[in-house]
């Protein structure tokens, strides 16, 4: 049975039946390392010196305990380069050692005083997300609730299952927030046009995992509605809450402006997270109904890597082994699957009480979600586990494609009873 925190983000099944490894990830910051894999073509195209044709700076940032949005704020503070001129290939969580690539569409150089940054070179074009081939992970798991021998046995059982089972390509926990899994909840309010509710949810929703000062501040604002008082007393880490409150204090009821005070990356993440939540529900339902995630059935959409195209799977084909199941992401451009998969999608939409047209946000066009497709199973490569029996610590290393989550693999292994307390 999955824990409530998993169900809240739409992840409602396990694909494996191996017993829980237990344990904790991210017990130390250095226990979780992620490094972006960049296409050789991008690296080969960079020039050592700026030229009239190569004006885009490309950097590598290696940071400990700093998420992507915070890194953008740090660069902006020290260089005055607008955040809109910083382009990141992927979003990284704060609870990790992260190595990521970003580009600067601006003539100013990033100050050397910002540690952990190195200039890779100058590019002719802004690197696109297609330049990110995937991510390499190195993860330590420790603090097990079972003996070292049990860890070895359970790890072996899990590896045996992976030899015959593919894992589902769910969106991971960090898509929905760290200590508050609310980005999808805010996103739904935006999609349904409830902008006041979206703002107040972001400002006042709290969990037991937040610091006591922050919990008290959110509760006070929820109970009193005192915006000016909340702005004056906001704890220092609540940077985005203060930005929203400044807008609301200047112009009461200006909820659209309050949302727009946030960086565009964060604003888009709200709607994207709601799409991700619905995708997780659809994929969970497909697995519960014993439908395969690696082999298409009639009515599915499939991705054909040979032709790099999405198409409908209408008949059984002995040569279809190379086709990959593609599940639609709901959006204003949504295309419905047929057959059993189409039934699942309609049921999830109905239960969520939204329509695909809702994803066109007329009040904030920039947040509209067109939709698309996502593979049903993870692309897991170079997986290696080592277990130090004496210290009872497991180290895992592996590679995933762009947009896939290490915590989804680790969740199937550890099967955490309390994801947040266990580092998820």
74-106 pLDDT tens trace: 999 999 999 889 999 999 999 999 999 999 998
**Residues listed for the chain:** 424
More confident residue, 165 or 34: 34
Q: What does the pLDDT read at residue 140?
A: 99
**pLDDT tens digits for 225-244?**
999 999 999 999 999 999 99
Residue 381 designated active-site: no
For 127, which DSSP code? P
Q: Cα 91 to chain center, whole Å? A: 7
**Domains of the chain and CATH, by start:** 4-27+143-167+378-414 (no CATH), 32-135 (3.30.70.3160), 183-264 (1.10.1510.30)
How far is CA 273 from each of CA 35, 54, 279, 313, rounded to the nearest angstrom? Answer: 23, 35, 10, 28
Q: What does the pLDDT read at residue 148?
A: 96
Task: Say how far apart CA 326 and CA 229 lie, in whole Å.
Answer: 49
Specify whether the CB–CB gap between 296 and 308 falls below 8 A: no
Task: Say how far apart CA 279 and CA 376 lie, in whole Å.
Answer: 10
Say what the pTM is: 0.94
Give the range with max mean pLDDT: 219-228, 299-308, 309-318. 219-228
Q: Where are the alpha helices (DSSP H) in 299-390?
A: 339-352
Question: If you average pLDDT over residues 108-135, what whole number do you get?
Answer: 92
How far is CA 300 from each of CA 35, 39, 123, 317, rounded to the nearest angstrom? Answer: 34, 31, 40, 13
From the CB of residue 170, how many other CB atoms can be counted at a distance below 10 Å? 29
Query: Kindly report the CA angle at 277 between 164 and 327, in degrees rounded to 5?
Result: 50
Q: What does the pLDDT read at residue 317?
A: 56
Task: Say how far apart CA 302 and CA 313 lie, in whole Å.
Answer: 6
How far is CA 376 from each of CA 36, 168, 254, 372, 388, rounded to the nearest angstrom? Answer: 22, 6, 40, 13, 33
Exactly one of 31, 93, 300, 377 is catalytic; name it.
93
Look at 106-120, 344-358, 385-399 and tell me which has the smallest mean pLDDT: 106-120
Q: Which two tokens stand for residue 74?
A: 């740090």
């Amino acid at each position: 049975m999955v824990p409530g925190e998993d169900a809240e983000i739409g992840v409602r099944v396990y694909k494996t039946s191996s017993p829980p490894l237990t344990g904790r990830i991210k017990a130390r910051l250095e226990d979780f390392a992620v490094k972006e894999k960049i296409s050789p073509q991008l690296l080969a195209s960079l020039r050592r010196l700026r030229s009239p044709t190569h004006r885009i700076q490309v950097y590598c940032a290696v940071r400990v305990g700093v998420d992507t949005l915070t890194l953008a704020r740090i660069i902006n503070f020290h260089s005055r380069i607008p955040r809109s001129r910083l382009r990141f290939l992927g979003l990284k969580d704060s609870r990790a050692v992260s190595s990521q690539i970003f580009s600067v569409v601006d003539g100013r150089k990033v100050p050397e005083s910002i540690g952990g940054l190195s200039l890779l070179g100058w590019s002719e074009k802004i690197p696109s997300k297609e330049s990110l081939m995937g991510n390499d992970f190195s993860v330590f798991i420790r603090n097990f609730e079972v003996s070292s021998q049990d860890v070895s046995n359970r790890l072996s059982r899990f590896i045996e299952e992976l030899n015959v089972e593919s894992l589902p390509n769910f969106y991971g926990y960090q898509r929905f927030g760290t200590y508050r899994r609310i980005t999808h909840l805010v996103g739904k309010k935006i999609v349904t046009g409830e902008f006041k509710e979206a703002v107040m949810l972001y400002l006042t929703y709290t969990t037991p995992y937040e610091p006591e000062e922050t919990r008290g501040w959110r509760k006070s604002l929820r109970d009193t509605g005192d915006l000016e008082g909340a702005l004056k007393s906001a704890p220092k880490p609540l940077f985005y809450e203060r930005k929203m409150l400044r807008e609301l204090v200047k112009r009461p009821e200006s909820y659209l402006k309050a949302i727009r005070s946030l960086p565009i990356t964060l604003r888009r993440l709200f709607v994207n997270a709601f799409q991700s939540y619905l995708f997780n529900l659809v994929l969970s339902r497909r697995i519960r109904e014993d439908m395969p995630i690696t082999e298409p059935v009639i009515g599915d959409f499939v991705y054909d890597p040979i032709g790099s195209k999405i198409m409908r799977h209408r008949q059984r084909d002995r040569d279809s082994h190379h086709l990959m199941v593609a599940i639609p992401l709901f959006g204003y451009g949504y295309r419905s699957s047929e057959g059993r998969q189409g039934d699942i999608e309609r049921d999830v939409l109905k239960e969520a009480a939204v329509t695909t047209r809702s994803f066109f946000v007329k009040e904030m066009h920039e947040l509209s979600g067109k939709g698309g497709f996502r593979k049903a199973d993870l692309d897991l490569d170079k997986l290696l586990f080592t277990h130090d029996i004496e210290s009872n610590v497991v180290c895992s290393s592996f590679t995933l494609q762009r947009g896939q989550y290490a915590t989804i693999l680790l969740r199937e292994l550890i099967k955490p009873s309390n994801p947040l307390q266990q580092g998820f």
